[in-house]
């Protein structure tokens, strides 16, 4: 029987050694885990380039606004935006956040770094072919940034946008993100192009696959805003045949007068510094328009951009 006892004590000693080794292994593993966790959370909060590298930990932003600019108007209107509400958008911070919830980008293939605003590589077109640029840009955003934003807005480079008010409206928790939404000033099924229009992620995900077709097909060649509405109608009829498409809608919970379109020489601009002054505008039954209620204003040129930026945020 003695050989069994010897063997037993041998195995006990052996297993005790194993357990003490295991203990060190556990210490080492814990240290490694702590190190990795710390590095990940540190990398996550590095600014700029590094956030691009770690896309999987980058939180989704609320809104991207692309400006339908051109090589010709970039040094004037593009620069004016970059020095006014474009800069305000870049510097905007919500409490406890170190990045802006909104990105403003130029829809322009030329390098725009001197304006401090990045650009999307979509080809330049003539003014008559503007619709093509809108289709291309939304398609680019669909392909590369669909999951980076909740909202996707098109604006012109002579549009003034009150960033803070817009973000507050789009944050409305009663908006159902599962519904495809096209928001703006209602024309027909289309939204007026000048003061801009906004798609939610659901709408872009449904329209995305049809955008190259719309760009190529003559049926969608014409006025940029009307054609975008037509393409939206077509895409939804294909993607969701049973859906009752309401077309362009006002911002839910808004005042219904957010998207103001005036000619750049309109005498009403004289009242820009009287926020409560109410007036009527062409192609609208309402006489309740005001600079206070407006959130996206068009057509804004030259010094008016700076004057609005001084008065409104
Ligand atoms: C949101 O929209 C989806 C799609 O239309 C619908 O199925 C769902 O019931 C809606 N949710 C609410 C809370 O209304």
Q: How many CB atoms lie within 10 A of CB 222?
A: 13
| Residue-level pLDDT at 11 | 53
* Mean pLDDT on 265-276: 97
d(CA 235, ligand 1 centre) in Å: 20
| 36 confidence band (pLDDT: 50, 70, 90) | low
Give pLDDT tens digits for 184-200. Answer: 999 989 999 999 999 99
Q: Do residues 269 and 262 lie in contact, with contact meaning Cβ atoms separated by under 8 Å? A: yes
- Which residue's CA is minimally distant from atom 14 of ligand 1? 176
Is the pLDDT score of 181 beyond 80? yes
R_g of the chain, CA atoms, integer Å: 27
Written out in words, the top-level CATH class of the domain with range 61-250 is: alpha beta
Strand bridging mode 197-200 / 259-261: unpaired
Is the pLDDT score of 282 beyond 50? yes
| Residue-level pLDDT at 48 | 45
The tally of CA atoms less than 13 A away on the side-chain side of residue 249 is 15
| Substitution candidate for ligand 1 out of 172, 173, 175, 176 with most atoms within 8 A of CB | 176
Is the pLDDT score of 1 beyond 50? no
User: E strand or H helix at 64, and its extent?
Assistant: strand 61-68
Minimum-distance ligand 1 atom for the alpha carbon of 178:
2
Of the candidates 241, 170, 157, 246, which has an alpha carbon nearest to the alpha carbon of residue 196?
Answer: 157
Q: What are the residue ranges spanned by the domains of the chain?
A: 61-250
3-state secondary structure of 62: strand
- Which residue's CA is minimally distant from atom 7 of ligand 1? 178
Instruction: Please give the order of strands across the beta sheet that includes 259-261.
Output: 160-161, 296-298, 259-261
Check if 287 has its Cβ closer than 6 Å to any atom of ligand 1: no
Is the pLDDT score of 26 beyond 60? no
| Residue-level pLDDT at 126 | 83
| Residue-level pLDDT at 35 | 59
* Mean pLDDT on 230-259: 97
Q: pTM value? A: 0.82
Minimum-distance ligand 1 atom for the alpha carbon of 176:
1
Of the candidates 278, 258, 128, which has an alpha carbon nearest to the alpha carbon of residue 186?
Answer: 258
């Amino acid at each position: 029987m003695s050989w069994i006892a010897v063997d037993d004590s041998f195995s006990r000693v052996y297993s005790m050694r194993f357990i003490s080794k295991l203990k060190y292994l556990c210490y080492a593993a814990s240290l490694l885990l702590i190190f990795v966790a710390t590095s990940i959370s540190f990398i996550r909060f590095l600014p700029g380039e590094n956030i691009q590298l770690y896309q999987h930990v980058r939180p989704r932003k609320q809104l991207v606004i692309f400006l339908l600019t051109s090589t010709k108007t970039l040094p004037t209107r593009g620069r004016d935006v970059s020095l006014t509400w474009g800069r305000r958008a870049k510097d905007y911070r919500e409490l406890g956040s170190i990045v802006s919830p909104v990105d403003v980008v130029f829809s322009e293939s030329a390098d725009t770094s001197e304006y401090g605003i990045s650009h999307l590589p979509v080809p330049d077109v003539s003014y008559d072919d503007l619709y093509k640029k809108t289709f291309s840009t939304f398609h680019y955003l669909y392909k590369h940034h669909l999951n980076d934003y909740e909202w996707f807005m098109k604006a012109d480079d002579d549009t003034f946008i009150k960033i803070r008010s817009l973000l507050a409206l789009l944050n409305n928790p009663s908006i159902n993100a599962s519904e495809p939404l096209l928001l703006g000033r209602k024309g027909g099924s289309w939204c007026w192009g000048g003061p801009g229009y906004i798609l939610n992620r659901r709408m872009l995900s449904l329209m995305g696959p049809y955008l190259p077709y719309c760009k190529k097909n003559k049926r969608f060649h014409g006025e940029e805003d009307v054609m975008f509405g037509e393409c939206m109608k077509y895409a939804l009829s294909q993607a969701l045949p049973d859906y009752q498409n309401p077309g362009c809608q006002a911002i839910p919970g808004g005042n219904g007068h957010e998207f103001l379109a005036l000619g750049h020489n309109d005498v009403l601009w004289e009242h820009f510094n009287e926020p409560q002054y109410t007036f009527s505008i062409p192609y609208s039954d309402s006489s309740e328009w005001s600079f206070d209620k407006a959130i996206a204003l068009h057509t804004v040129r030259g010094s008016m951009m700076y004057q609005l930026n001084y008065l409104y945020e």
